[in-house]
Structure 1
Amino acid sequence: MQKQKKKLMLTTVASMALTAIAGAASAETLIVASPQVPEGFDGDALKTHTQNVVVQTYENLVVYGKKVVDGRTVNDPGTVEPHLAESWKISEDGKTWVFKLREGIKSPYGNELTADDVEWSWSKSFAQKRTGNFIARVSNVVGVKALSKYEVEFTLSAPSSIFLKALTLYVPGIYDSTEVKKHATDEDPWGLKWMQSNTAGFGAYHLDALRPDDQAVFVANKNYFGGDLYFDRVIYKEVPSEASRVTLLKTGQVHLIDRPSIQKVVDLQKDSNVKVDRASGRSIASARMNPKCKPFDDVRVRQAFNYAVDKGALNNAVFAGQADIAKSVVPPIVDGYNPDHFDYDYDPAKAKALLAAAGFPDGISEPIQLLYADAFWHQEPVAIQVADMLKKVGVNIQPTRVTTSEMRAKGSPKEMSMCFFTWEDGPIVLDPVYTMYLISHSKGVSNRSAYSNARVDELIDMSREELDAGKRLSMMDEAQKLWVTDAPWILTAYPATFEAMNPKVNGWVHYPDEHERWRELQMN
Structure 2
Amino acid sequence: MRKQKNKLLVTVAASLAFSALAGAASAETLIVASPQVPEGFDGDALKTHTQNVVVQTYENLVVYGKKMVDGQMKNDPASVEPHLAESWKISPDGKTWVFKLREGIKSPYGNELTADDVEWSWSKSFAQKRTGNFIARVSNVIGVKALSKYEVEFTLSAPSSIFLKALTLYVPGIYDSTEVKKHATTEDPWGLKWMQSNTAGFGAYHLETLRPDDQAVYVANKNYFGGKLHFDKVIYKEVPSEASRVTLLKTGQVHLIDRPSIQKVVDLQKDSNVKVDRASGRSIASARMNPKCKPFDDVRVRQAFNYAIDKDALNKAVFAGQADIAKSIVPPIVDGYNPNHYPYDYNPNKAKALLAEAGFPNGISEPIKLLYADAFWHQEPVAIQVADMLKKIGVTIQPTRVTTSEMRAKGSPKKMSMCFFTWEDGPIVLDPVYTMYLISHSKGVSNRAAYSNSRVDELIDKSREELDAGKRLSMMDEAQKLWVTDAPWILTTYPATFEAMNPRLNGWVHYPDEHERWRELKMK
Contact 1:139–1:162 (Cα < 8 Å) also in 2 = yes
Contact 1:101 1:150 in 2 (8 A): yes
CA deviations on 1:471-496 (whole Å, 9 max, x unpaired) are 00000000000000000000000000
Instruction: Check the 8 A contact 2:506/2:522 in 1, yes or no.
Output: yes
Cα deviation 1:53-85 (Å, max 9, x = unaligned): 010000000000000001110000000000000
Deviation at 1:17, TM superposition (A): 4.8
Contact 1:10 1:244 in 2 (8 A): no
The answer to whether the Cα contact below 8 Å between 1:27 and 1:233 also exists between their aligned partners in 2 is: no
Q: Is the 8 A contact 2:22 2:253 kept in 1?
A: no
Alpha-carbon distance in 1 for matches of 2:3, 2:482: 55
Higher mean C-alpha deviation, range 70-79 or range 47-56? 47-56
Deviations 1:191-230 (A, max 9, x none): 0000011000000000000000000000000000001100
Inter-partner Cα distance in structure 2 for 1:4 and 1:40:
31
Report the secondary structure of 2:113's partner residue: coil
Residues 357 and 22 from structure 1, CA distance in 2 versus in 1: closer, same or farther, beyond 3 angstroms?
A: closer
Counterpart-to-counterpart distance in 1, 2:150 and 2:24: 39
Please report how far the alpha carbon of residue 25 of structure 1 lies from its aligned counterpart in structure 2 after TM superposition: 2.9
Q: Distance in 1 between matches of 2:398 and 2:12?
A: 44
Alpha-carbon spacing, 1:447–1:469, altered in 2? closer, same or farther (3 Å): same
Q: Does 1:365 align with 2:365?
A: yes
Superimposed CA distance per residue, residues 298-318 of structure 1 (whole angstroms, 9 cap, x where no aligned partner): 000000000000000000000
What SS does structure 2 have at the residue aligned with 1:48?
coil
C-alpha distance 461-209 of structure 1, shift in aligned 2 (>3 A)? same
Structure-1 residue corresponding to 2:273? 273
How many Å separate the matches in 1 of 2:386 and 2:395? Answer: 10
Contact 1:305–1:390 (8 Å) recurs in 2: yes
Q: 1:5 to 1:66 in 2, by over 3 A?
A: farther
Q: 1:253-332 maps to which residues of 2 (within 5 A)?
A: 253-332=253-332
Shift of 1:10: 6.8
Q: How many residues matched?
A: 524
1:391-430 per-residue CA deviation (whole Å, 9 max, x = no partner) reads 0000010000011000000000000000000000000000
Q: 1:143 to 1:270 in 2, by over 3 A?
A: same
Q: Residues of 2 paired with 1:61 and 1:13: CA distance?
A: 44
* TM-score normalized with structure 1 length: 0.98
Unaligned runs of 5+ in 2: none
Sort the Cα spacing of 1:307 and 1:224 in 2 relative to 1 into closer, same or farther, 3 A.
same
Q: Do 1:14 and 1:248's aligned partners in 2 also have CA atoms closer than 8 Å?
A: no
Query: How far did 1:16 drift?
Result: 4.9
Are 1:43 and 1:54, in contact at CA under 8 Å, matched by a contact in 2?
A: yes
Using the TM superposition, give the Cα deviation of residue 522 of structure 1 relative to its aligned residue in structure 2, in angstroms.
Answer: 0.7
Give the Cα–Cα distance (whole angstroms) in 1 for the partners of residues 43 and 5 of structure 2.
36
Q: Is the 8 A contact 1:33 1:257 kept in 2?
A: yes
Moved more, 16-25 or 159-168: 16-25
Shift of 1:90: 0.2
Work out whether residues 107 and 224 of structure 2, in 8 Å CA contact, stay in contact via their aligned partners in 1.
yes
How much has 1:15 moved relative to structure 2?
A: 3.4
CA displacement at 1:24 relative to structure 2: 4.1
Shift of 1:171: 0.2
What is the CA distance between 1:28 and its match in structure 2? 1.2
CA–CA separation in structure 2 for the residues paired with 1:50 and 1:131: 13
CA contact (8 A) 1:14 1:253 kept: no
* 1:65 match: secondary structure: strand
Identity of aligned pairs, percent?
A: 91
Q: Which shifted more, 14-23 or 275-284?
A: 14-23
Q: What displacement does 1:155 show?
A: 0.2
Shift of 1:7: 7.2
Displacement of 1:2 after TM fit? 8.2
Q: CA deviation at 1:145?
A: 0.2
Cα distance in 1 for residues equivalent to 2:16 and 2:441: 50
Kindly indicate whether the alpha-carbon contact (under 8 Å) linking 2:36 and 2:48 is maintained by their aligned counterparts in 1. Answer: no
Aligned residue for 2:49, secondary structure, equals: helix
Alpha-carbon distance in 2 for matches of 1:459, 1:132: 25
Aligned-residue RMSD, C-alpha: 1.3
Gap change, CA 1:523 and 1:369, over 3 Å in 2 = same
- Measured in 2, the distance between the counterparts of 1:417 and 1:26 equals 54
In 1, Cα distance between the equivalents of 2:247 and 2:385? 31
Cα distance change, pair 6–465 in 1 and its aligned pair in 2 (3 A) = farther
Q: Secondary structure at the match of 1:430?
A: coil
- Closer, same or farther: CA 20–435 of 1 in aligned 2, 3 Å: farther
Structure 1 CA distance, aligned partners of 2:361 and 2:124? 58
How far 1:12 moved relative to its partner? 3.4
Alignment deviations for residues 364-391 of structure 1 (CA, whole Å, 9 cap, x no partner): 0111000000000000000000000000
Tell me, in whole angstroms, the C-alpha distance in 2 between the residues paired with 1:459 and 1:383.
32
- C-alpha distance in 2 between matches for 1:3 and 1:506: 41
Distance of 1:9 and 1:384 partners within structure 2: 39
**Is contact 1:280-1:497 (8 Å) kept?**
yes
SS of residue in 2 equivalent to 1:27: coil
Please name the residue that 1:379 is paired with. 379
Task: Return the alpha-carbon distance in structure 2 between the equivalents of residues 127 and 378 of structure 1.
Answer: 36
Tell me, in whole angstroms, the C-alpha distance in 2 between the residues paired with 1:35 and 1:263. Answer: 16
1 CA distance for matches of 2:155 and 2:17? 49
The answer to whether the Cα contact below 8 Å between 2:59 and 2:202 also exists between their aligned partners in 1 is yes
Q: Which range moves more in the overlay, 390-399 or 14-23?
A: 14-23
Alpha-carbon separation, structure 2, partners of 1:21 and 1:8: 20
Aligned pairs for 1:448-467 (under 5 A) are 448-467=448-467
8 A contact 2:22–2:254 mirrored in 1: no
Q: Cα gap change, 1:96/1:252 in structure 2, threshold over 3 Å: closer, same or farther? A: same
1:6–1:81 Cα change, 3 Å: farther
Distance in 2, Cα, partners of 1:504 & 1:481:
45
The whole-number CA distance in structure 1 between the counterparts of 2:9 and 2:495 is 32
**Using a 3 Å threshold, how does the CA distance of structure 1 residues 488 and 9 change in structure 2: closer, same or farther?**
farther
Inter-partner Cα distance in structure 2 for 1:9 and 1:413:
48
Larger mean Cα displacement after TM superposition, 118-127 or 27-36: 27-36
Q: Secondary structure at the match of 1:209?
A: strand
Distance in 2 (alpha carbons) for counterparts of 1:288 and 1:10 = 43
Q: Aligned partners of 1:315, 1:158: CA distance in 2, in Å?
A: 42
Name the CA distance, whole Å, in 2 between partners of 1:141 and 1:22.
47
Closer, same or farther: CA 5–425 of 1 in aligned 2, 3 Å = farther
Q: Distance in 2 between matches of 1:246 and 1:3?
A: 24
SS at 1:8 equivalent: helix
Closer/same/farther in 2, CA of residues 151 and 504 from structure 1, 3 Å limit: same
Q: Are the aligned partners of 2:283 and 2:494 in contact in 1 as well (CA < 8 Å)?
A: yes
1:260-284 Cα distance to aligned partner (Å, 9 max, x none): 0001111111111111110000000
Equivalent residues in 2 for 1:35-54, closer than 5 Å:
35-54=35-54
Asked whether the equivalents of residues 326 and 493 of structure 1 are also in contact (C-alpha less than 8 Å), the reply is yes
Q: 1:69 to 1:57 in 2, by over 3 A?
A: same
| C-alpha distance 519-20 of structure 1, shift in aligned 2 (>3 A) | farther
Tell me the CA shift for residue 45 of structure 1.
Answer: 1.6
How far 1:3 sits from its partner (Å)?
9.9
**TM-score, normalising length: structure 2:** 0.98
Q: Bigger CA drift: 5-14 or 211-220? A: 5-14
Per-residue CA deviation, residues 314-370 of structure 1 (Å, 9 max, x unaligned), is 000000000000000000000000000000000000000000000000000111000
Per-residue CA shift, 1:32-64, capped at 9, x if unaligned? 000000001001122241110010000000000
- Kept in 1, the 8 Å contact 2:32–2:256? The answer is yes
Q: Cα distance 1:15–1:400, how it changes in 2: closer, same or farther (>3 A)? A: closer
Match of 1:134 in 2: 134
